[in-house]
Structure 1
Amino acid sequence: MPRTTPVPALAAPAARVHDSLVLEPRDVRFDWARLPLHWVPDEPMATHILNVLHLLLPEGERWFVKVFKEALPLVRDEQLREEVLGFIGQEAIHAEAHQEVLDHLLGQGLDPRPYVRQVAWVFQRVLGERPGLSPARRHEALIERVAAIAAIEHFTAFLGNWILNSPGLDRAEADPTMLDLLRWHGAEEVEHRSVAFDLLVHLDPGYARRVRTMAMAGPLLVHLWVRGVRFLLAADPTLDGRLRPSWREAYRITKRGLLPNPVKSIRSGLRYLRPGYHPTQEGSSSQALGYLATSPAARAAAGR
């Protein structure tokens, strides 16, 4: 069970915040045969704003796994090492689950591959390992990537907490299989929300890197998300380019509870910049584990 007392960001590198966090990779499976293209009924823009997750996450989470595997030899705390291994296992399954949705979209006539190639370029070339660096600079670049992941994981935990508390999607009669995917994933993001941050503090307890990488990761995510929405709306074969993204439409959808409140998202990002911040201040582990105990996909995985 996670401790309730947060560890200051400026604490010693070996700071520990969990007594017995055991991260279990759940081998979930989903049947997408009946998933409609607009799985939020009569809301193609809401559907595609959320579908950007499927565009970003497979490449992003494969990058997370690669970086954390590279960082493992640097971990000197055995409990943190076990948490990092559990994080790697969960993220690998997340990537494959969202990849299946991309394959389903392709079968419905929406080809996501042009945009996914752009995302892959960002993670592999812009954020990836650079050849020819000295050992010292390679070490520094690795910690910088860990810090970027900690910043991104802050937002995935925010989204996970939102999806666990989003009755608007139920009222809109969103597809139950997709809701289970999003809430299973969201619950695991809340469950392991501290791991990337704790790894960063273990490798670099300073504050400056945390601020710098959030200043990079936040705008990058917004940019990729907006581009992803534009791409999906243009590529949707049922829309014929008739629907264009607009902030007014996004505001209407948010008021219906179908999207997270952008003001709350910004406030969450600002909380990350507080010197004494720790991810245990976000979301509820008990709520996340409660959903995982009832999720149809997670229960089926536990029974296999």
Structure 2
Amino acid sequence: MSTPHLPSHPQEPHPIAPRRVSFDWHATPLLWIPDEPTATHVINVLHLLLPAGERWFVKVFKEALPLVRDEQLRTDVKGFMGQEATHSVQHSTVLDHLAHQGLDTAPYTRRVDFLFARLLGEQPPFGLPLTGQEWLRFRLSLIAAIEQFTAVLGDWVLDAEGLDRAGPDPVMLDLLRWHGAEEVEHRAVAFDMYQHTGGPDPARYLRRALGMAVTAPVLLYLWGWGAAYLLRHDPQLAARSRYSLRAHNQAVRKGLLPTWRELGAAIPRYLRRSYHPSQEGSLRTAVAYLASSPAARAAAGAVGRAALS
């Protein structure tokens, strides 16, 4: 593989490290946003996608880590991997909680597992004539594109006053905001990793654009399919409840979901040649939430007690 391009760091380095949080779901209802099944289950799609997806992030980054020549980036990547591994575990516990409440997600998540483990595994699928180098670079471009959306969603959930007004389950809201804050905190790492290992332009930029061209429609499809699956199989709803765009848009107007404009505008920003994800969200807001998050504070306290013992 050719010599990687060293990334530029347009902002002061911020330490990225996993927080070993845990959440107690025993009191969390299935509809954790009261009387809002569509908003609840549109957000719940995160739990369907992220356990397998974030395990895949870590696997791909492990493949690429030996190529990193910049020490600050190497440190950031290791912190990113630790955070993503923790996210995967914590969202998996939500799936267990949903199953305990009678909502079996396995038929959906098996297909997500297949997507990440087989279609996006170490070898190109279907005998595609790609070198190992090019296949790794393409998968890194997908992760960078996905992280663009997770940064936007993370920034949104930190300021989602509509969720606060709706009286959601506080444990679920803390999970979402802890995760969202860490997404903002490490929002530039996947992009910097891709830029560092993606080879020279113009191929590097074209592959970055291709990564977004693949990621955006696939995420939209998976999200719609996932929301429809959850609504249809929720045992507390009327038989075979359906996802509807009308109900989704009503939830958007209430501030329970991000607007289509917020999500769509992330794409042209990302495609600007001068773009860098440090432009996304507020690191100050993210760090402030992490300092107040019940789960993050409990994790920090546990670390402190262990250090003193």
Q: Does the alignment reach a TM-score above 0.5?
A: yes
Paired AA for residue 97 in structure 1: Q
Distance 1:274 1:131 in 2: 28
CA contact (8 A) 2:252 2:259 kept: yes
Aligned residue for 2:65? 72
Q: Which residue does 2:13 correspond to in 1?
A: 20
In structure 2, distance between residues paired with 1:259 and 1:252: 9
Q: 1:104 aligns with which of 93, 97, 121?
A: 97
> Structure 2 residue aligned with 1:296, among 294, 297, 307?
294
- Residues 101-154 of structure 1 show CA distances to partners (whole Å, capped at 9, x for unaligned) of 0000000000011100011111112222217989x8112111111110000000
Query: Displacement, 1:16?
Result: 2.5
One-letter code aligned to 2:59: K
Q: Is the 8 A contact 2:233 2:240 kept in 1?
A: no
Residue aligning to 1:5? none
Matched, 1:255 2:250: no
SS at 1:207's partner residue?
Answer: helix
Match of 2:306 in 1: none
Q: Name the amino acid aligned to 2:37.
A: P
1:142 corresponds to: 136
Equivalents in 2 of 1:211, 1:80: separation in Å?
22
Identity across matched positions, percent:
57
When the two structures are superposed, what TM-score results if normalisation uses the length of structure 1? 0.93
User: What does residue range 145-156 of structure 1 map to in structure 2 within 5 Å?
Assistant: 145-156=139-150
Letter in 1 for 2:148: H
Q: 1:234-272 CA distances to partner (integer Å, 9 max, x unpaired)? A: 111111435211111111110000000011210111110
1:166 aligns with 2:160: yes
Equivalent residue in structure 1 for 2:175, among 163, 181, 184: 181
Among 213, 230, 233, the alignment partner of 1:232 is: 230
Distance of 2:64 and 2:211 partners within structure 1: 17
Q: Distance in 2 between matches of 1:241 and 1:227?
A: 18
Matched, 1:126 2:124: no
Output the CA distance in 2 between the equivalents of 1:241 and 1:212.
Answer: 40
* 1:210-255 residue CA offsets vs partner (Å, 9 max, x unmatched): 1011000010100000000111011111114352111111111100
CA distance in 1, matches of 2:112, 2:13: 35
Q: Specify the alignment match of 2:307 in structure 1.
A: none
SS of the aligned residue for 2:265 comes to helix
Alignment correspondent of 1:7? none
Q: For residue 25 of structure 1, give the secondary structure of its aligned residue in structure 2.
A: coil
One-letter identity of the residue aligned with 1:188: E
Q: Distance in 1 between matches of 2:182 and 2:74?
A: 18
Q: Distance in 2 between matches of 1:286 and 1:46?
A: 27
1:284 to 259, 269, 282: 282
Check whether the contact 1:207–1:275 (CA below 8 A) recurs between aligned residues.
yes
176, 191, 198: which one pairs with 1:197? 191
Whether the aligned pair in 2 keeps the contact of 1:24 and 1:86 (CA below 8 Å) is yes
Q: Residues of 1 paired with 2:224 and 2:122: CA distance? A: 26
Contact 1:59–1:120, Cα closer than 8 Å, also in 2 = yes
Report deviation, 1:20. Answer: 2.7
* Deviation per residue, 1:130-181 (Å, 9 max, x gap): 17989x8112111111110000000000000000010100100011100000
Q: Residue 36 of structure 2 is aligned with which of 29, 35, 43?
A: 43
Whole-angstrom distance in 2 between the partners of 1:156 and 1:285: 14
- State the SS of the aligned residue for 1:244: coil
Q: Amino acid of the residue matched to residue 14 of structure 1?
A: L
Over 3 Å counting, the alpha-carbon distance change for 1:248 and 1:199 in structure 2 is same
What is the RMSD of the two structures over their aligned residues, measured on CA atoms?
Answer: 1.7
Q: What TM-score, normalized to structure 2?
A: 0.92
Q: Provide the rounded CA distance (Å) in 2 between the counterparts of 1:198 and 1:131.
A: 23
The amino acid that maps onto 1:198 is D
